[in-house]
Amino acid sequence: AAVRSPATTAVPQVRFEDIGGQAAAKKELLEAIEFIANREQIARMGIRPLKGILLTGPPGTGKTLLAKAAAHHTDSVFLAAAGSEFVEMYAGVGAQRVRELFRRARELARKERKRSAIIFIDEIEVLGARRGSHSTHMEYDQTLNQLLTEMDGIAVDEEIQVLVMAATNRADMMDPALLRPGRFDRMVNVDLPDKEARLAILRLHTRQKPLGDDVDLEAIARQTFGFSGAHLESLANEAAILALREGLSEVRQRHLVEAVDKVMLGERLDRKPTE
Ligand code: ATP
C-alpha cells in the first residue's frame, strides 16, 4: 500500500441535502450523531458515548458522502483513511499508523478549534476481517488490536470527542470483536438507490448542467435499475461530454440515453471474472 497521510479537509462542506435518496440511512445517522451535540447531557446521565458507526452497502452508494455530511452537521473535523493503507510488510507499522490517525484527529480538531473529530475508515474489512483469517495474520491482528484499543480509549469527558465511522461492502467478513458494544455498535445500511432516489441523484448531478427541453430524468431513472450514485454521477458527466463533442451548449435526452449504455458497458468491462 502507498504511504500517504490521511486526507484532511477540516470540516467538509457536504450537507445531507447534497445526498440523493438514502432517507433511512440519513435518519439513523442523524439520531446517532445527536450525542456529539449533547455530550454534556450524555456524560451527566452516565450514558456510554457512541464511538463507532459502521456503514455497510455496495460501492458508490454514498457512504463517504454520508460520513462527510455527518462531520459537517456536527461541526467536526474529518479525517479519512482506507483499510489498505494500514497493511504493511513490517510488523507494527499498521498499528503505528492507527495510533497516528487518532493523534492527528485530535490535533487537527484542536488546531481548528473544534470540539469533535470524525475519523472515516473505508474498506475496514481489510483490517477488520475475522482475526486469523489472513495469511499474514500477525500484522493485521496488531493493527486491528490497535484500532480496538484506540476506540476503547475514547471517553465522553475528553476535550475532543472522537467518532469513528467505517465503511464496508463485506459486513459478513467483519471480526465480531469490532461489533461489540462500545465499538462499532451502530450499523447503518446504505443500499443501492430505488427509482425515486435515482431521480433525486440525477437531479443533483445535473443541477449545474444546461439541460435541453426534451430531457426526461424520470425516464432515465426508470432505465437505471441497479445503478449506484457513483454510476449516476458518471452518467450525468458522460452525457455532458457527448453533448459537448457535438458542439451543443445543452444536454439532450439522447445524450443521457447513450450515457446509460456507456456506464453499463464500462461496468461490465471493469468487472473481474470472479465477481
Ligand atoms: P466506496 O464504497 O466505493 O468508497 P461510497 O459508498 O463511499 O463508495 P461515495 O464515495 O460516497 O461512495 O460516492 C462516490 C460518488 O458518487 C460521490 O462523490 C457522488 O458524486 C456520487 N454519489 C454516490 N452516492 C450518491 C448519492 N446518494 N447522492 C449523490 N451522489 C452520490
- The ipTM estimated for the assembled molecules is 0.96
| Residue whose CA lies nearest to ligand 1 atom number 17 | 230
Measured in Å, residue 132 CA sits from the centre of ligand 1 at 31
Strand segments (E) across 144-183: 161-168
Measured in Å, residue 213 CA sits from the centre of ligand 1 at 28
Measured in Å, residue 230 CA sits from the centre of ligand 1 at 5
| Residue whose CA lies nearest to ligand 1 atom number 16 | 230
Q: Is the CB of 230 under 6 A from ligand 1?
A: yes
Strands 77-82 and 7-8 turn out to be antiparallel
Measured in Å, residue 120 CA sits from the centre of ligand 1 at 14
- Which residue from 120, 108, 103 is spatially nearest to 164, judged by alpha carbons? 120
Q: For the beta carbon of residue 90, count every other beta carbon within 10 angstroms.
A: 8
Q: Is the CB of 233 under 6 A from ligand 1?
A: yes
Residue-level pLDDT, tens digit, the chain, 275 residues: 444 455 556 999 999 999 999 999 999 999 888 877 788 888 888 888 889 999 999 999 999 999 999 999 999 999 999 988 887 767 788 899 999 999 999 999 999 999 999 999 999 988 877 665 555 555 567 888 899 999 988 887 788 999 999 999 988 888 888 888 889 988 999 999 999 999 999 999 999 999 999 999 999 999 999 999 999 999 999 999 999 999 999 999 999 999 999 999 887 655 555 44
| Long-range contacts at 31-38 (CB < 8 A, ≥ 24 apart) | 32/186, 32/188, 33/70, 33/73, 33/74, 33/163, 36/74, 36/76, 36/116, 36/161, 36/163, 37/74
